Amino acid sequence: MISDHLRNITIHLSTHRWADLGLGVLGKPQGPIDIAVMVAQAVLLALVLDYVHMLWLRYKMPPGPFPLPILGNTLLLPENKPWIYFEELSKRYNTPVITFWIGRNPTVWINDAWAASEILDKRAGIYSSRPRMVVFAELGNGQDGMLNMYTTTATQRERWRAHRKLMHHGVGVQSVRRYRSFQNDESRIVAADLLASPGEYVRHFERYATSVVSIIGFGRRVERWDDPIITEVIANMHLAADLNVPGKSFPMLMETFPWLARFPTSIAPWKRGLGRKRGFNFFYALADEAAQKPGHDGSFVKHLFAERAKYGLRDEEVSSLTGNLFGAGSDTSSSTLITFILACCAFPETLAPAWEELDRVVGQDRSPDFADEPNMPYVRAFVKEVFRWRSVAIIGGQPHAPTQDDYYNGWLIPKGTWTQGNVWAIHHHEREFPDPDRFNPQRFLADHEDGRPFPGERGYMTFGWGRRVCSGQALAEQGTWITIARILWGFKIAKKTRPDGSVVEVDINNYTNGLNMRPQPFECSITPRTPRTAATIEQEGRQARDDLEQYRGETKYRMSTFYSRNDRAMDKYGDDAKEE
């Protein structure tokens, strides 16, 4: 057995006589050459023992490709969309859970809904922590915020619970019901914007999603699609999303060679600028600015500042919590709505049942409201299929890490192991979702023949698992439903037809490569269903703007200039970027 071979190698190395290594009598070095030989042999011994340890872990852990010394399986990583590769490995080894080595560190990928439920949901108390993340955490957002925080000690767990409690006050299941009024109004404005300029649908969705979280966070809406809060913050979210996808090029190669992260950023081009720490963060400046303004006492940042002394919140924590709010509701929600448009173009046969249900329940003289949801099972299924078909958080968000050694099906998952749910593989498993690339809302209707058992009542795992489930899940589900229902009610969505009559095809697999994926730009046709729906959209849009007037406002801060070394006029928050 492999364990016997490894034991023999270890015994042989540990009992080797120094004299046999050419170090002279009693192991004393005889000169510079002997010292160099001794150092080289010590390094070699350390490498061999380390590799023996890797192979011993591989023997006990879930199956996967054979790792090389030091490099592990890093060279096997594809350039794009590694979640598809991990799905293929799961099929190759005929196991729901695989081990893949990033350098010397094993990572566990869960490619099955039932295994994910068993490990990450039912054992949530064990898998509530995070692993070491060199790029995204240590060099990026830090490991002290709620998103990346360790929970291996009682002190860490207590701190994380405090952050979670504060976040639940902002976007928890009970809290988001308070936001239905302005979320509904913002959705009406999206419909009016699509009527006026349908070709700018991406920008309209980004404005809508960012405005909703800005009202919740700061008591201030975002009126224009070109507001820097949208363009700069979402661009920053996209960059951050790219920093947590396993890769074999820099900066992600630092996960394989973490010692490279120790070099100063100024002399380490492979760090791509990561590792710079600022005295004040952009999101703290936004929060402090909003907290000083009168009115909107129910905003999230005013709650944070009111509770600051109670929880002993540092500036960095206020910044982190505020930034998490944007991360939980802006980029992800807009990307989901873009996927919705793509699905309508690629699978037009799914629209007629939605129109029939909407006309029967709602009519054409008003658009849908939250009260209509219980009476529209097909539209509910349509939204669920959007979440399932091309999930935004394609690998389930940040990785989990067990706080103790754990076993699944007899396989070891060591303490601290990077443990990731592969949402792509889970949502494209033929067992639960036959013909998985087909967009088919019928699969979420109870009486449909394709219905299969699935752990959890929602039928999808888009928002993660256990205690680390996405904080903004309730907000995203609520907002996505009302916006999709309203757009389905008001518009015909189809592939674009060129002047010569030819059709512009869409590619359902042409997505970005980040942690939060979205479709690459594509052309489409968005036109009002009838003159009556168009008139209703215009009237409701005007009324919504009047209703939202109370949230008018603008920030003086811009992310593009906030961290500029040359901008000295940005009052106390324009501090120079300093390296840690």
| pLDDT one digit per residue (tens) for the chain, 580 residues | 444 544 454 444 444 443 444 444 445 556 788 888 888 889 899 999 999 999 999 999 999 999 999 999 999 999 899 999 999 999 999 999 999 999 999 999 999 999 999 999 999 999 999 999 999 888 887 888 899 999 999 999 999 999 999 999 999 988 999 999 999 999 999 999 999 999 999 999 999 999 999 999 999 999 988 887 777 777 777 777 777 788 888 889 999 999 999 999 889 999 888 876 654 578 898 899 999 998 888 899 999 999 999 999 999 999 999 988 877 667 889 999 999 999 999 999 999 999 999 999 999 999 999 999 999 999 999 999 999 999 999 998 899 999 999 999 999 999 999 999 999 999 999 999 999 999 999 999 976 655 568 998 899 999 999 999 998 899 999 999 999 999 999 999 999 999 999 999 999 999 998 888 999 999 999 999 999 999 999 999 999 999 999 999 888 887 777 766 434 433 343 333 333 3
Q: Could you tell me the two tokens for 481? A: 């439903």
DSSP three-state, residue 332? helix
Burial class (CB in 10 A: 0-12, 13-18, 19+), 82: buried
CA distance 63 to 2: 14
Contact between 114 and 96 (Cβ < 8 Å): yes
Q: For residue 394, give the amino acid letter.
A: I
- Helix or strand (DSSP H, E) at 98: strand 97-102
What are the residue ranges spanned by the domains of the chain? 1-60, 154-579
Across 100-129, b (16+ Cβ under 10 Å) vs e yields bbbbbbbbbbbbbbbbbbbbbbebeebbbb
Within 10 Å of residue 437's Cβ, how many Cβ atoms? 12
Rounded to a whole number, what is the distance in angstroms from the first to the last CA of the chain?
49
Q: Which amino acid is at 124?
A: A
Alpha-carbon distance 89 to 31, whole Å? Answer: 51
CA distances from 461 to 112, 333, 390, 458, 509 (A): 11, 16, 11, 8, 20
Annotation-wise, does 470 bind a ligand?
yes
Residue type, 223: E
Structure tokens at 227: 């507001």
Residue 446 three-state SS: coil
274-278, Cβ contacts within 8 angstroms, sequence gap of 24 or more: 274/135, 274/139, 274/140, 274/243, 275/139, 275/579, 275/580, 276/577, 276/578, 276/579, 276/580, 277/577, 277/578, 277/579, 277/580, 278/563, 278/575, 278/577, 278/578
1.10.630.10, 3.30.450.20, 3.40.640.10, 1.10.3720.10: CATH of 154-579: 1.10.630.10
CA–CA separation, 395 and 316 (whole Å):
27
